[in-house]
Amino acid sequence: MSRSWSGRPRQRYFRRPRSRWRKILDYAVTAAILGLLILVSARLDRVETRKAEGTAVVNDGDSITLGTERIRLRGIDAPEYSQVCVKDGAQYPCGRRSREALSHLVAGRQVVCTGWERDKYGRLLGECSVGNTDLNRAQVEAGWAIAYGGYEAAESAARRDHRGMWAGDFDRPRDWRKMHGDMTDIEHGSYGRILNWLREIFRFW
Residues assigned a catalytic role: 72, 80, 123
Count CA atoms within 13 Å of residue 198 on its CB side. Answer: 7
Q: How far is it, in rounded angstroms, from Cα 71 to Cα 56?
A: 10
Given a contact cutoff of 8 angstroms between Cβ atoms, the answer to whether 128 and 71 are in contact is yes
Q: How many CB atoms lie within 10 A of CB 124?
A: 21
Q: How many CB atoms lie within 10 A of CB 18?
A: 11
Specify the DSSP element, H or E, that contains 32.
helix 20-43
Give which of 72, 36, 81, 85 is closest to 198, Cα–Cα.
Answer: 36
Give the bridge partners for 112, in sequence order.
53, 129
DSSP state of 9: B
Specify the DSSP element, H or E, that contains 125.
strand 124-130
